[in-house]
Every structure is written in structure tokens, then in C-alpha cells.
Amino acid sequence: MPKIMVTGANGQLGSELKELAATWPAAEWWFTDLPDLDLTDGRAVLAEMAAFRPDFCVNAAAYTAVDKAETDAANAWRVNVDAVENLARACKQLNSALIHLSTDFVFDGHHFKPYLETDPTHPLGVYGRTKLAGEQAALAHNPATVVVRTAWLYSAHGNNFVKTMLRLARERGHLRVIADQVGTPTYAADLAEALLHLMRQLFAQYEPQSDWKTVTGLEEIYHYSNEGLASWYDFAHGIFELADLNPQLEPIPTSAYPTPARRPAYSVLDKHKIKRTFNLPIRHWRDALRQCVAKLAAEE
């Protein structure tokens, strides 16, 4: 029976993993977040993990305030790098596999086709630089690690673009949305299901009396998002269409909406590696969005 630790349990991905936990009833789950466990406290991390002894640690905790990070770099580094190193070191000592979540912001967006895991990284801001350093820390300190980069995450939980657009559409008759940044919206529920799929396959190879060296698919970086691509304008248009809302929607360039942090103009991720390695099906972003919008409507 696998034992699974999930950090960042109150975030979008952590909340979706909580909902999915019942679909793997043979597993024992531990969901944790602040203030229960401060991941920047290495001694506390090791002590708490030693008491539970997880087979998997899913690190969904992160400093994600992209603009704030530009003037709060020290805290972003503590959460996105130091905390990851603490988890990786503890995982190594306890023979646990680490599933670490990262981001499309490790790229600069100057590409012309979907990014491969092997493409050169060049983050544009503090957030991207700390997330890249976190990837490197995870892999350096625990070989039994999988890094999963994702992008444009949304869900029925927490604050995100989908919920913001739905709220603004009901408050205003006219919305201006950036149309020259292109990526792929990712439903956190789909990402959570993909992580469960991944862990099931890894655990099926694992022999508890040994370590993870004989398990294939570890010490790797993978990309995961829903299929297809969209601009933020396209994304907003899809949200309003599925929610049967009709605000006046104006496409604008990034230059018309300046922010402290620069965003990659193109950050579509190539997902062939994760699909091939784990025989993982991925649905189109509009199909996933339809499910999320329906769930939000049912909760109103």
C-alpha cells in the first residue's frame, strides 16, 4: 500500500488531489500545508516525514505571486528553492520518490513550436528563476525525482483566471484581455489525475525492500498541460461561451497591460514524453474547461 504525502494541500492542485484520493483507496494519504508544516524548516520537514515515511511526496507548494516576486525575491527563493531542497534531502534519506511541480515560466517564450523538456531554459523573472532552481535542487538531492512542468493552471478551487473572468463578466459589460501571449490552459483536476496515473505506474515497478533505482521514469523532467493552445483572449472567449455569458471582449497587446514581471509570449509545452512514457491520454483544453465551468455553475 503506497503512502503519499502532498504539500500545498490547500492550493488548486492539492485540493483536486484531495478529491481524487478516494479513487486510490489502497493508498494512505497525508495532506499538509501552512501552518501545519513549514517546508523552509529542514529539521521539521525531516521529522514530520520520518514519522509518516511516504513512498511519494507530491510537492504542490510554491510561491506563485509572479509580480510580487520581483520585489520579494528572498521569500520566493525560500519557498521555491530552499523548501524544495529540504524535501528532496528528506526524500533521499527516507527512500521516498519526489514528484515536484514546476512551470512554463522557466522558458522565455521566444520559441516558435511547443517546448521540449530538453529545450534551453531562460526565465524572464524572479518567479521563473526560482522555479528553475527548484527543479535543479530536486533532481540534485534526490535521484528518485520526477519534475512535472505545467502551465496556466485553473480549477474550481482557489483564485484563478477562470473564476476571475466569470466574476468580471457579471460585474462589467466590457473586458480587455491580452491576445499576444499564447499557452495552454490546464485544468488542475486533469493534472491531479495524471499524477495519480504516473504514481500508480511507478509504484507498480517498486520493490519496497529495495530503493527506486530499478524503477524507470524517474530522475526526469516531463511536461503536462491539456492539449491545444490559446491566447488569454481565446481562453476568456471559451469561458464566456461555455458559461453562456456575453460581455464585450476586446483583445489587447501585452504592452497595453504592463506588469512588474515579464511573461513568456509563447509557452506551449510539448507533451509527447509524458504521454509515451506513461501511456497517458490528455484531453483538449476546451473539453476540460467545459467540465470546470459546469462544476462552478453547479456550486452556485
Domain holding 34: CATH number?
3.40.50.720
Please, are residues 151 and 104 in contact by the beta-carbon 8 Å criterion? Answer: yes
Q: What integer pLDDT is reported at residue 26 of this predicted model?
A: 87
- Among residues 214, 207, 198, 215, which one has the least CA distance to residue 276? 198
Q: What is the rounded average pLDDT of the residues 86-92?
A: 98
What band does 70 get if pLDDT is binned at 50, 70 and 90? very high
For position 300, what pLDDT does the model report?
Answer: 76
Residue from 63, 115, 127, 233 carrying the catalytic annotation: 127
The verdict on residue 124 lying in a domain is yes
Catalytic annotation present for 127 = yes
Tell me how many domains the chain contains: 1
Residue 165 lies in a domain: no
Q: Tens digit of pLDDT for each residue in 158-182?
A: 999 999 999 999 999 899 999 999 9
Checking if the pLDDT of 63 tops 80, the result is yes
3-state secondary structure of 2: coil
Residue with cell 456575453: 246
Other CB atoms within a 10 A radius of the CB of residue 276 amount to 9
- For residue 171, being part of any structural domain is answered with no
Look at residue 25 in the predicted model and tell me its pLDDT: 85
Quick check: 271 pLDDT over 90? yes
Kindly tell me if the per-residue pLDDT of 258 is higher than 80. Answer: yes
Find out whether 269 and 223 touch, Cβ atoms under 8 Å: yes
DSSP β-ladder status, 145-150 and 153-154: unpaired
**pLDDT confidence bin for 1, thresholds 50/70/90:** confident
Compute how many other C-beta atoms are within 10 angstroms of the C-beta atom of residue 114.
Answer: 17
**Assigned domain for 242 exists:** no
Which of 2-11, 186-195, 212-221 has the lowest average pLDDT?
212-221
Nearest Cα to 237, choosing from 299, 291, 293?
A: 293
Residue 209 has pLDDT above 70, yes or no: no
Please determine, for residue 244, whether its predicted confidence score (pLDDT) is greater than 90.
yes
Is the pLDDT score of 7 beyond 70? yes
40 in a domain, yes or no? Answer: yes
Residue 32, in any domain of the structure: yes
For residue 61, pLDDT over 90 is answered with yes
Asked, for residue 82, whether it belongs to a domain, the answer is yes
Supply the angle between the helices 232-243 and 161-171 in degrees, to the nearest 10.
Answer: 60
pLDDT given for residue 82 in this prediction: 98
Q: How confident is the model at residue 74 (pLDDT cuts 50, 70, 90)?
A: very high
Does residue 276 fall inside a structural domain? Answer: yes
242: helix, coil or strand?
helix
DSSP code string of 120-174:
PP---SHHHHHHHHHHHHHHHH-SSEEEEEE-SEE-SSSS-HHHHHHHHHHH-SE
* Per-residue model confidence (pLDDT) at position 299: 87
Containing structural domain, residue 7: 3-159+186-226+267-283
pLDDT in tens, 130-155: 999 999 999 999 999 999 999 999 99
Look at residue 266 and tell me whether its pLDDT is greater than 80. yes
CA dihedral 167, 170, 175, 181 (to 10 degrees): 30
